[in-house]
Amino acid sequence: MGTPGTTDGPTIFALSSAPGRAGVAVFRVSGPMTRNVVQAVCGAVPKPRVAALKTMRDPTGGGVIDRGLVIWFPGPASFTGEDMAEFHCHGGRAVVLAMRSALADCEACQPAEAGDFARRAFQNGKMDLTQAEGLADLIDAETEAQRLQALKQADGALFQKVESWRDDLIGAMALVEAAIDFSDEPDVATDAVSHADERVRGLVDDIGSVLSDQNRGEILRDGFRVVLVGPPNAGKSSLLNALARRDAAIVSEEPGTTRDLIEVRLDLGGVPIILTDTAGLRATESAVEKEGIRRSTESAKRADLALWLDDPEQPFGTWPSDLDQLALPRDAIRRVLSKGDLLSVAQRAAAPPDAILVSAKSGEGLEVLISRIVARTAAVCDADTPVYITQARHREHLSAALEYLHGFGQSGLDVELRAEELRRAAFELGRLTGRVDVEDVLDQVFGRFCIGK
C-alpha cells in the first residue's frame, strides 16, 4: 500500500452512476486538478464535504449545463485519498453528454478506466487488496447472503485477520533473529526459538482452521451449483423453467433435446443458486448426444447438489444404475418424481415415501423442493461460523503460508533456514493483502470493477 494523500498521476473523471436515462447522474473526479475542475464548472469551490446547489457550466463556452449538487472532498479524507469531487446532475442523456464533455475540456482531466478510483484508493492506503475485492463483490452481489459476505470483506474482516497473523509472524521472526544473534549463548538462543515455536504453532492452528471452511465463502460468492440429472424426457427442462419462472431451456417431447448444459441463476432464500439442466442420461449411438451426456456427468461431478428426476410415465425404478456410475457431487436429492399432475391416486400411493412429487405444469411440490434445496445450502450460509476466504487467490496464499510455517516446524533444520521459512510465510501474507509485490494481480482485481468505481 502507498502513502495516504499521494496526489500524483492525472486527474480522472467518470460517470459513476449507471449509464442510461435516470433521475440523477453522478460524476466523480479525482486527482490533483480536482479543485480547478470544480472552480471551472461551478465558478466557486463549496465548503468541504457539504452538498451545495450550484449551476454547472461548460468551462470553455460558459453555457449553463444544469443545476445540481456538488460535493468537494479535499484529500486525504476522501475515497481515493486524493482531492475528489462529485457532481450530481439530472440523468438525461443530453445532460450526461454535456457534463462529460465539460469535464473532458478541463485542464489535465481525462476519462477514468474501469476500477481506477478503487485502484487509487488501494495505492493511497485507503484499503488493502482484500477490501478492494470485497468492494467489487459488493457491487456484483445479487443476493442477500452475497451482500453480507462482501460487506464483511469490504469492511476488512479478512484484512484484519491477516494483519494479526502477520504481527505474530513478525514477533516470531524477531525471536528467531535473536536466536541467530545470540548463537554463542545456547540457553538464550534455545529459549528464543522455543518461544518462536509456540507462536508459530498458534498461527498454524489458526490459519489451518480458517482454511478448513469447506470452501463456503467461495461457494457463496460464485453460486451454489445444483444440477438436474435423470433420463431423457423426465421433465428436467420443464422443471428448470418452472423454478426459473421463465423459458430458459427448450422443452420438447423428443427425447435427447438438451444436448448442451443450460444454466439459470436463482435467488433462493438469499443464496445464489446456479441451476443446470443436463442432457438426459441413456445409452445412445449419437455422437452429439454422447457429448451431451459426458458434459452432464462432468457437471454433476462439479455440482454442490444433484437432483435426480424420475419420470413416472416409466415404471418407478430403483436407484438408476447410470447414476451409480456418476461421480456424484457431495450431496444429492435422489428421488424427485416429475409430472405429478399425470399420476393417478393409486400411482401416488405407490410412490416411494422419500420421493418429492413435483409438477412443472401445476406447480405442485415446487415449494417443497425449493425448501429442500435451501436446507442443503444452509451449511454454506451459516452466519454463526465466520468465513474469511472468498476466492481461490486467498486460499492459495494462505495454503502457501501454512506450508512455510510447517517447514519452520521441522526442528532438524538449521535456524537460518527456519528463519527463511518465516520470511516466505510473511511474504505470502503480504501478497494476500497487497502489501508486497502485487503488480501482477492488480489489473485482474481492479479490471473487475465498472468505470466510475
Residues in touch with ligand GDP (CB under 6 A): 232-238, 251-253, 257-258, 280, 338-339, 341-342, 359-361
Cβ–Cβ < 8 Å for 333, 376: yes
C-alpha closest to that of 115 among 92, 98, 132, 137: 132
85 versus 373: smaller Cβ distance to ligand GDP = 373
Cβ–Cβ < 8 Å for 237, 243: no
The CA–CA distances, whole Å, from 196 to 121, 190, 203, 409, 411 equal 35, 10, 11, 10, 12
59 versus 280: smaller Cβ distance to ligand GDP = 280
22 versus 251: smaller Cβ distance to ligand GDP = 251
253 versus 285: smaller Cβ distance to ligand GDP = 253
Q: Where are the alpha helices (DSSP H) in 303-414?
A: 321-325, 345-350, 366-377, 392-408
CA dist., res. 137 & res. 147, Å (int): 8
Closest separation in Å from C-beta 237 to ligand GDP: 3
Cβ–Cβ < 8 Å for 296, 307: no
Closest separation in Å from C-beta 376 to ligand GDP: 21
CA dist., res. 170 & res. 172, Å (int): 5
C-alpha closest to that of 63 among 34, 94, 98: 98
53 versus 250: smaller Cβ distance to ligand GDP = 250
Closest separation in Å from C-beta 245 to ligand GDP: 14
126 versus 339: smaller Cβ distance to ligand GDP = 339
Closest separation in Å from C-beta 363 to ligand GDP: 9
Strand pairing of 22-30 and 52-57? Answer: unpaired
Grid cell at residue 406: 510447517
Closest separation in Å from C-beta 265 to ligand GDP: 19
Closest separation in Å from C-beta 357 to ligand GDP: 10
Instruction: Give the position of cell 417431447.
Output: 253
Cβ–Cβ < 8 Å for 367, 345: no
183 versus 362: smaller Cβ distance to ligand GDP = 362
Closest separation in Å from C-beta 313 to ligand GDP: 8
